[in-house]
Amino acid sequence: MAQELYQLSATEISQRLAKGELTSRALVEALMKRYHALNKKVGAFTHLDEADVLAQADASDARRKAGKTLGPLDGIPVGIKDNIAVKGQPLTCSSKMLAPLVSPYDAHVIESLRAAGAILYGRLNMDEFAMGSSTENSAVQKTFNPWDLARIPGGSSGGSAAALSAGLVPLALGSDTGGSIRQPASHCGIIGLKPTYGLISRYGLVAFASSLDQIGPMARTIDDCVLLLNALASPDARDMTCFNKNHRQQLPEVAAKSLRIGVPKGVLGKGVGAEVAAATQAAIDFYKSQGCTIIEVDLPSSDLAVPTYYVVATAEASSNLARYDGVRYGHRSANAKTPIEMMTNSRSEGFGPEVKRRILLGTFVLSAGYADAYYVRALRARSKIRAEHLAALEKVDMLLTPTVPTPAFKAGEKISDPLQLYLEDIFTIPANLAGLPALSVPCGKSGHLPVGFHLVGAPLSENKLLAAARLFEAAHGFANQLPTL
């Protein structure tokens, strides 16, 4: 049976476009038809400018006809998470606070995608200001898991993961502060990469926690992930934390079958569901069967990762979100008689419950009398977690854990228990605290729901992680799988 266009991977699309077997316009029209059929069910996109998308596709086809193709991404749609600036498009972070805002400029990654000829394809739903693990905190709409529409897709990049999994778009951008690319990737059965902190510019990414945030690629295959990563990773003087050309040298590749893979002691016993543990163990056994060396490693401070993260991240969030005061831009309350009332009411009306919770917590841990007890101690714990990971990664090429402890839960199941939601990120948070690259790879099912395993490497070791993942992907049938919708 011939594949539908929405079923093609980005790599296959690129090959067909290059051979003249497909036009970008035909591809976009097929994807828009699927968007109209499914987006109300899935809730992945919050905005799609169809006229603009068709104009971009026609421009790509014209370049190709003139022999001026810009590269392998030319003419391929990429969905954009709604906290990444695209000039002339809404930039709402799925929040009432920014509901009227249209971005006046492009993020660095968007400039890079335009230079590569990619089609900027719509705005993807997210937890408000990227604060959440289920995409239930969006002020715009709910997003659902295409594998089971009664369940969450993960978050905060849930719209990106759901759009890929539903075949609404072949590539997408997400952002990751504590697991927001990798956790929804695991729940939706796709690839999600959080790059080394500083590899991809954060210019044009609306800040949540600046020392943790990273933009990264989301895709259905490893080759597609590489295709998108190569377009995104370039120096940018506007982001002072972004590596310059002299510091971007990646570690040399090694043969995937000679890798040393570290498994943290007791990692499959920390509240991990039986089927998730079994799928992760099967991945470990596979690598062992391929000649990789499996080494148990000790990361004694990992249990501190979740509380450390929620002190550091909320502290930075309370600072970053102080700018939304109803004065300069964003929501301004109509129910105020004084400047103080205007600021108070604007923030009360504009922010949702989870954002308010994190602002309050962050303000508390930074307040006089408590900063040393909480924030400064969290910074010390963060340094210890990073040091332990770097020490372990001197002995092994990468670490392997589950991505999340359990498969996707039912919508509404944990919304009243934020602590349970926070524990969703127990395996993903350490990579953000340490600034390390990390990758979620589909590795099996728990019933009908996808699960993934998680690889973490030394700084700038993305190529090693991707090589290891490609070895696994080639031997299993989990790549580019789409649910029946």
Q: Which of 112, 156, 157, 201 is catalytic?
A: 156
Distances (CA, A) of 80 to 206, 363, 426: 13, 31, 26
Instruction: Retrieve residue 192's tokens.
Output: 């999600």
Contact 273, 446 (CB under 8 A): yes
234 is known as an active-site residue: no
Report the alpha-carbon distance of residue 265 to residue 16 in Å, rounded: 46
Contact 173, 218 (CB under 8 A): yes
Contact 163, 121 (CB under 8 A): no
b/e per residue 134-153 (b: at least 16 CB within 10 A) = bbbbbbbbbbbbbbbbebbb
Sign of CA dihedral 406, 411, 356, 156: positive
Instruction: Give the 3-state secondary structure of residue 173.
Output: strand
CB count within 10 Å of CB 387 equals: 12
180 is known as an active-site residue: yes
Contact 236, 248 (CB under 8 A): no
Report the alpha-carbon distance of residue 136 to residue 402 in Å, rounded: 23
449-457 vs 398-402, strand pairing mode: antiparallel
CB count within 10 Å of CB 24 equals: 26
Report the alpha-carbon distance of residue 474 to residue 309 in Å, rounded: 35
Q: Torsions phi, psi of 22, nearest 5?
A: -150, 145
Query: Which runs of consecutive H residues, i.e. helices, occur in 43-103?
Result: 50-65
Sign of CA dihedral 225, 228, 231, 236: negative
Strand partners, 125: none
Among residues 353, 357, 345, the alpha carbon closest in space to that of 138 is found at: 353
414 is known as an active-site residue: no
Q: Which of 9, 14, 24, 81 is catalytic?
A: 81
Q: Which of 157, 165, 180, 201 is catalytic?
A: 180
Q: What is the DSSP string of 295-351?
A: EEE--TTGGGHHHHHHHHHHHHHHHHGGG-SSSSSS---SS-SSHHHHHHHHHHHHS
Strand partners, 84: 205
Q: What amino acid positions are annotated as catalytic residues?
A: 81, 156, 180
